[in-house]
A and B are shown apart, each in its own frame.
Chain A
Amino acid sequence: MKMKLLLTTLALSLAAPMIHAADSLVVYSGRKDTFVKPVFEEFTKKTGIEVVVHAGESTALLNKLRLEGARSEADVYISNDSGNLDIGNSWGLFEPLPAKITEQIPAQYHATNNSWIGLSGRLRVLVVNTQAKDIDFVKSVFDLADPRLEGKVGVINSANESFIGGVSVYVEEKGAEATKNWLKGLKKNTGKNVYSKHAPIVEDVASGKLAVGLVNHYYIYRHLAEHPDAPIRILLPDQGDKDMGIAWNVTGAAVVKASKHKEAALKLVAYLVSEEGQKAYSIVNSEYPTRANIPAAPTVPAHGSFKTSKVPLSVLGNKRAATLDLIESVGMP
């Protein structure tokens, strides 16, 4: 009898269609869940709508969305990379957002057909150790391939969307051949210093194991918040008159077409673009709010005080495959 009970329980838990309450909102989040959960908790307090976060890598989650199709439980997709959002859009996975949401954010931060909306901006910058010797010549991302930096550079692996996005921008600015040569030099200079996360790159620059790292800007401020005396500083690359400026990217959200809670999903997106939501989502993480007229955190370089690349964001999506092939041809880990 006990056996039977056990077997029934097993069978039931296997066949159960879902684990969470049916009326809660499901968010596939490529952004780390400890950063989005506080925002969602505020949202739940305001609206009474429960949010279930399914965290993972942005691209893996997009793949999951595509495979699941109409069967997906996801209501909202949050990506760390606008390229993913554009690709998801081209696959027809998202529901267009109403004008009353999109008009709150400048046009360069959302899809042309309003299928997704940007929530925060991030810069591809260099972090340097303030005590490192002989690195004064480093002014550009392209200097990271200089033989003088062998063994002193840390980068993230080439599966990372921020890295891929940056390379797409460099290809647009400098051409495929120059970028390929740069990648070759970078591969040689980094050696085994190819990381799977950004935070340890900053840590190793701070400890002096590395002289310079290529990271998203907020990782530097996150480290400085914990270790105010760390010997690191931000280096905004490619700022000369003829230089390309900094490659940048936005995180963003989209409502999933298969969603069965579209009204609630739209409420969540509306909250994320509201002034309060923007503060909780982007400023807390030292990123640049996409909503106009909200200043970034006082610790980060003020918006407009530096030069950014003119390459449009849409490149990150439609050049993704070509960029990956280029990286693959070099064999960058």
Chain B
Amino acid sequence: MPFKRPSTLFLMAGIVVLIAAIPVFFVIYSSLTLPLERWASLWSTRLPGLLWNTLSLAVLVALLSLVLGVSSAWLIARRAFPGRTLATWLMILPLAIPSYVFAYIYTALLDDDGWLGGLWQSIFGQESLPPDPYNLWGAGAVLGLAGYSYVFLLTRAALSRTSRSLEEAARIQGIGPWRTFWSINLPLLRPAIAAALAVVVLHTLADFGAVSMLRYQTFTLSIYLQMTGRFDYQAAAALALVLVLLSLGFLVLERFFRQRQRFYASSQTRIVVPKRATRGETLLIWGWLGLIALFAFILPAAWMLGWSWESWKDDHLDRVFWGYVGNSLQLAFLGACLAVVAALPVALYHKRRQSLMSAGMVQLSSVGFVLPGPVIALGIITFMLAVVEPLYGGLAALVLALVICFLPLAIQSQDAALQQLTPSIEQAGRVLGAGPLENLWRVTLPMIRGGLASAWVLVFIDILKELPATLILRPTGFDTLPVRIWLESSEEMLELAAPAALMLVLATLPALWIMMRGEKRAEQAG
């Protein structure tokens, strides 16, 4: 009897993982058919450059988002200052802006006649050219600004969960604030930071829109180009395989960092009361956070508003446009619900087992995140036409691909929430006579409500922003906002791209609100 539950759970988790792995099988199969001499030619002409470009970008983005995310999270979690709620919102709002919109806006802003370009030339003279975003630094800055919010969110959550007693103990012993941060906070935060960096780096590795706008050659961009120009997918699949191996190596590293330590939040954690900031500190805090917010949200938002206003005046926002908004919302809603449900068995199984097998399953389902969208799309088309042909043509193929793309995000958040759950609570439920389902429904799920909510929201936002897979798999006549931004911005049609980007931001707001409310509740409950 005691073995029955895990086996059902195992079966469910297994099915989810198998489906999520379809694109990986496709990649392995296709790249195995690539003749050796073409491997050799890829190796000599492309791989070294791509490896260097991709890895250096990943490192740069990780560093930037680490600095921005951890500093802002610590300031907001540990200091009370006027406008703290506003600051929190400003730090997470960049999540609503897709990376390619960031890239697009910054190229426009840095143009000679853009706001920043004009400002630059009025300061440094007409002769000096504004910084050129079409390189590693430009791509790194854009992806860092687009991604640091993940680090902020997870670090802040971890900071408000970790008990302050350890910090206080250190301070009482006469250890200074910096050393306390290094030797107490940072080690405690390591799992959260590692998880957040994983999300940021995986986003970077899989990013297509921003690097293609900034003309920065990474694996994903090269794979896309290999696919769009050619009629065979072998070279694209081969590159994708290298990318998968790369990410796998990275994920193993990340797991290693997280496995080394596990902290259970005791239920008696006191509510953390942040220290009141002095007037000078407040000024400094707002100076730093304001600077981040200026580049990560305020400038882009102002730009979108400005051009959307033009668009509104020119009557570009017609019924067709609102149709795109509806399509995007429908798709993101569907996908987020399915992803949360699909992630649950995998996360639960891993939580209960903590075995090599369960970790492997989590790993395998994570690979979907790092496979470029177009490759996932192709794997799904091939699979559907071969196996479940009648479902092809509607939304099913697209939703399936998107769920696979972002399933790891849902698993990560649920896993993080479950890891915080003391095993004894679940055991208590069973001891008190609750069946496995009842226990899940009445004990486990309510306890990880926050994790479920953030899983849903993160997937919702990512699907709302997704471009390359949607471009390939969208049903006929079904255009989403990102697809329109892509099609419009390609011809410099700002007036049409800006309102679409603005709509994306607005559509994300309620989702972010749900997540923040969930967190607040969890905080109060703690």
Contacts and interface: CB of A to CB of B under 8 A. Distances in A.
Interface in A7-59: 10, 13-20, 26, 32-34, 52-57, 59
A164 B490 contact: no
B231 A59 contact: yes
Interface string B490-502: 1111000000000
Given A159-B225, A330-B45, A13 B391 contact: no
Contacts of A203: 492
A184 to B, nearest CB: 11
Nearest to B217: A333
A158 B215 contact: no
Contacts of B382: 67
Interface stretch (B417-425, B474-482, B509-517): B474-482
Contacts of B392: 68, 71
Interface in B211-247: 212-213, 215-217, 222, 224-231, 235
A208 to B, nearest CB: 9
A13 B229 CA distance: 33
| SS class, residues of chain B in contact with chain A | helix
A148 interface: no
Interface stretch (A108-116, A170-178, A190-198): A190-198
Contact of A158 (B229, B381, B491): B229
Contacts of A52: 476-477
B490 A32 contact: yes
A26 B395 contact: no
Given A159-B225, A192-B215, A329-B41, A63 B231 contact: yes
A17 B390 CA distance: 8
A16 B395 contact: yes
B491 A18 contact: no
Nearest to A320: B231
B222 A17 contact: no
Contacts of B477: 19-20, 26, 52-54
Interface residues of A, number: 56
A95 interface: no
Interface of A: 10, 13-20, 26, 32-34, 52-57, 59-60, 62-64, 66-69, 71, 73-74, 87, 157-161, 164, 192-197, 199-200, 203, 207, 320-321, 324, 328-331, 333
A333 B225 contact: yes
Nearest to B338: A10
Given A192-B215, A328-B41, A19 B389 contact: no
B243 to A, nearest CB: 17
Nearest to A323: B229
A71 B394 contact: no
Contacts, number: 129
15 contacts: A10-B334, A14-B394, A18-B476, A19-B475, A32-B490, A57-B228, A67-B382, A68-B385, A71-B393, A159-B225, A159-B229, A164-B229, A194-B217, A329-B45, A330-B45
Nearest to A331: B45
Nearest to A200: B492
A54 B473 CA distance: 11
Nearest to A37: B320
Interface of B: 41-42, 45-46, 49, 112, 134-135, 212-213, 215-217, 222, 224-231, 235, 330, 334, 337-338, 381-382, 385, 389-396, 399, 471-472, 475-478, 487-488, 490-493
Contacts of A33: 487
A60 B135 CA distance: 27
A327 to B, nearest CB: 8
Contacts of A60: 227-228, 471-472
Given A13-B394, A199-B492, 18 more contacts: A10-B338, A17-B393, A18-B393, A32-B487, A34-B493, A52-B477, A56-B471, A56-B472, A57-B228, A67-B381, A73-B476, A159-B228, A164-B229, A196-B215, A200-B492, A324-B229, A328-B235, A331-B46
A333 B214 CA distance: 14
A329 B222 CA distance: 15
Given A160-B229, A195-B215, A34 B337 contact: no
Contacts of B225: 157-159, 333
Given A34-B493, A192-B215, A331-B46, A59 B229 contact: yes
B262 to A, nearest CB: 35
B476 A26 contact: yes
A67 B26 CA distance: 14
A63 B381 CA distance: 11
A14 B399 contact: yes
Nearest to A160: B229
A322 to B, nearest CB: 12
A276 B391 CA distance: 40
A98 B282 CA distance: 77
B135 A14 contact: no
A10 B337 contact: yes
B486 to A, nearest CB: 10
Contacts of A64: 381, 472
